[in-house]
Amino acid sequence: MTRRRSLWIDHDERRHVDQGPFSSARWRRQAQEAEERRRPRSDPAPAEEVEPPRRRFRWLPAAGLGVALAALALALVALLGGDGEDTALLPAGGDRQLPSTPAGRVYQAAGPAVVSVQAGPAGGTGFVVRRDGTIVTNAHVVSGAETAQVRFNDTGRLVEADVLGTDPSSDLAVLRVDPGTVGSIRALPLADSDKVRVGDAVVAIGHPFGLDRTATAGIVSGVGREIRAPDGFQIEEAIQTDAPINPGNSGGPLLDARGRVVGVNAQIATAGNPGNVGIGFAVPANTLREVLPRLSRGERIVRPYLGVTTAQHPSGASIAEVIRGGPARAAGLRAGDVIVEIDGRAVDEPEDVSDAVSDRRPGDEVEVDVIRDGERQTITVELDKRPQRTP
């Protein structure tokens, strides 16, 4: 007889009552666990807080920014100091000074020799040329005065200077102070102005508008210019510069890169404007060198006079006007004559006429070769003294 298997395992005598997947003990345990889950639970004790691991990645952006700034600083140093010279940054306190510029070095060397000159209502600049107290300025600054007031350095102390001589035809004047009244004196050397070339660097030092020892820099813009002297005659071989020159600069030095005087600042072209337009003129140093000894001795500069005005001509210098009452008219020269030679010296331009005559003295006779009506002829002229002003 076959026994049927029961669904209840505990009915099987071969198994324990608590064994098997469907035992009564298992069901009781499951019911108890379900009951416990339905009961409300009290809050458990807080678990010990565990410190989370430090997240190092939060510091990465700040570190990267620092590296980037350091790299930028190194790049700027390399850019600004790429020539291999010392690129150390200057301290904030300014203990280390920047190298002086060429114009600054000229100013430091020549500045102490530049003075302010006051003669009556007129005022200008001057500069020392000899350690015995000899000072040069423009003739129009002292304007015929016998004495002038001179101020050295930037102090307000005025020293009286004697006006030894003036030459209106070159617009130059020589003064002298007692060196014992000013202490140490520095004199400026004169350069050979014939060697000045366009493009040379120059520095002008003066007292424009009463501003003590102002320095301006520029270049030589032109040479061989002609400017009008106070007496109406022409000053030849003037030096043109774009270094700003203003009222009050008159009589001051125009200096080369070595601190030597190449000219005496005298005039500016204004084109109707009250200020500087970048065109100034200086009397050449060689003209100063020529008249300085005689003016220092108080001598009057007497110049020869031919009495003609000339213009450029393909064959030489054409006579534009023969001055009434002058020696040229008395000798028979005419307007339209072309001067080709004076005392054996060829004339190629109007300046050659002045050069040939300036080497003579009043009363000297010169032979002037001209072309008139296509024929060459020689006329002898006795030179006279230049009048105090142009006729």
Judge if 198 and 226 occupy the same domain. yes
Q: Which tokens belong to 280?
A: 């100034």
Residue 375, domain CATH = 2.30.42.10
Is 90 part of a structural domain of the chain?
Answer: no
Is 254 part of a structural domain of the chain?
Answer: yes
Please name which of 163, 133, 161, 134 lies closest in space to residue 146, comparing C-alpha atoms: 163
Check 169, 221, 250, 318 and give the catalytic one: 250
Judge if 164 and 209 occupy the same domain. no
Judge if 311 and 290 occupy the same domain. no
Judge if 228 and 248 occupy the same domain. yes
Q: Is 343 a catalytic residue?
A: no
**SS3 string of the chain?**
CCCCCCCCHHHCCCCCCCCCCCCHHHHHHHHHHHHHHHCCCCCCCCCCCCCCCCCHHHHHHHHHHHHHHHHHHHHHHHHHCCCCCCCCCCCCCCCCCCCCCHHHHHHHHHHHHEEEEEECCEEEEEEECCCCCEEEECHHHHCCCCEEEEECCCCCCCEEEEEEEEECCCCEEEEECCHHHCCCCCCCCECCHHHCCCCCEEEEEECHHHCCCEEEEEEEEEEEEEEECCCCCEEEEEEEECCCCCCCCCCCEEECCCCCEEEEEEEECCCCCCCCCCCEEEEEHHHHHHHHHHHHCCCCCCCEECCEEEEEECCEEEEEEECCCCHHHHHCCCCCCEEEEECCEECCCHHHHHHHHHCCCCCCEEEEEEEECCEEEEEEEECEECCCCCC
Q: Are 166 and 150 in contact (CB under 8 A)?
A: no
Q: Is 16 a catalytic residue?
A: no
Is 344 part of a structural domain of the chain?
Answer: yes
Q: Is 10 a catalytic residue?
A: no
Is 239 part of a structural domain of the chain?
Answer: yes
319: containing domain: 304-385
Check 116, 140, 143, 207 and give the catalytic one: 140
Walk along the chain (391 residues) in steps of 10 and give the mean pLDDT of each run.
39 47 54 65 51 44 49 46 40 58 94 93 92 96 92 83 96 95 91 97 93 93 94 93 92 97 93 75 96 95 93 95 94 96 94 89 95 95 91 76
Judge if 378 and 317 occupy the same domain. yes
Judge if 292 and 197 occupy the same domain. yes
Judge if 203 and 288 occupy the same domain. yes
Judge if 281 and 324 occupy the same domain. no
Boundary of a domain, candidates 181, 216, 250 = 181
Judge if 287 and 198 occupy the same domain. yes
Residue 115, domain CATH = 2.40.10.10
| pTM for this predicted structure | 0.71
Residue 52 CA to chain centroid, in angstroms? 69
Q: Are 308 and 353 in contact (CB under 8 A)?
A: yes
Is 161 part of a structural domain of the chain?
Answer: yes
Paired strand residues for 378: 369
Is 81 part of a structural domain of the chain?
Answer: no
Judge if 309 and 290 occupy the same domain. no
Boundary of a domain, candidates 296, 320, 349 = 296
Q: Which tokens belong to 260?
A: 């030597």
Q: Are 160 and 149 in contact (CB under 8 A)?
A: yes
Q: What is the pLDDT of residue 277?
A: 76
Judge if 310 and 332 occupy the same domain. yes
Is 49 part of a structural domain of the chain?
Answer: no
Boundary of a domain, candidates 270, 296, 322 = 296
Round to whole Å and give the CA distance between 207 and 151.
11
Neighbours of 86 (CB within 10 A): 5
End-to-end CA distance of the chain: 173
Q: Token pair 């510069």 is at which residue?
A: 241
Q: Which tokens belong to 33?
A: 């666990």
- Domain count of the fold of the chain: 3
Is 121 part of a structural domain of the chain?
Answer: yes
Check 143, 169, 170, 171 and give the catalytic one: 171
Judge if 229 and 279 occupy the same domain. yes
Please name which of 370, 364, 363 lies closest in space to residue 308, comparing C-alpha atoms: 370
